[in-house]
Chains A and B, each alone.
Chain A
Amino acid sequence: GENVEQHPSTLSVQEGDSAVIKCTYSDSASNYFPWYKQELGKRPQLIIDIRSNVGEKKDQRIAVTLNKTAKHFSLHITETQPEDSAVYFCAATYQGGKLIFGQGTELSVKP
Chain B
Amino acid sequence: GAVVSQHPSWVICKSGTSVKIECRSLDFQATTMFWYRQFPKQSLMLMATSNEGSKATYEQGVEKDKFLINHASLTLSTLTVTSAHPEDSSFYICSAEASKDEQYFGPGTRLTVT
Contacts and interface: CB of A to CB of B under 8 A. Distances in A.
Contact of A44 (B45, B100, B105): B105
Contacts of A51: 101
Interface residues of A, number: 19
A89 to B, nearest CB: 6
Interface string A16-50: 00000000000000011010000001111000000
A10 B110 CA distance: 24
Contacts of A44: 44, 93, 105
B34 A98 contact: yes
B40 to A, nearest CB: 10
A89 B44 contact: yes
B43 interface: yes
Nearest to B9: A41
Interface string A82-111: 000000010001001111111110000000
B63 to A, nearest CB: 18
A87 to B, nearest CB: 9
Nearest to B110: A41
B32 A101 contact: no
B46 A43 contact: no
B105 A96 contact: no
Interface string B25-47: 00000001010000000111110
A96 B101 contact: no
Given A42-B108, A43-B105, A104 B43 contact: yes
A100 B45 CA distance: 8
A101 B49 CA distance: 15
Q: Which of B42, B100, B103 has the most CB of A within 10 A?
A: B103
B114 interface: no
Interface of B: 32, 34, 42-46, 49, 57, 91, 93, 95, 97, 100-101, 103, 105-108, 110
In the A-B complex, list the 9 residue pairs whose CB atoms are closest, starting with the nearest: A32-B101, A43-B105, A101-B44, A101-B43, A104-B43, A43-B107, A103-B43, A44-B105, A43-B108
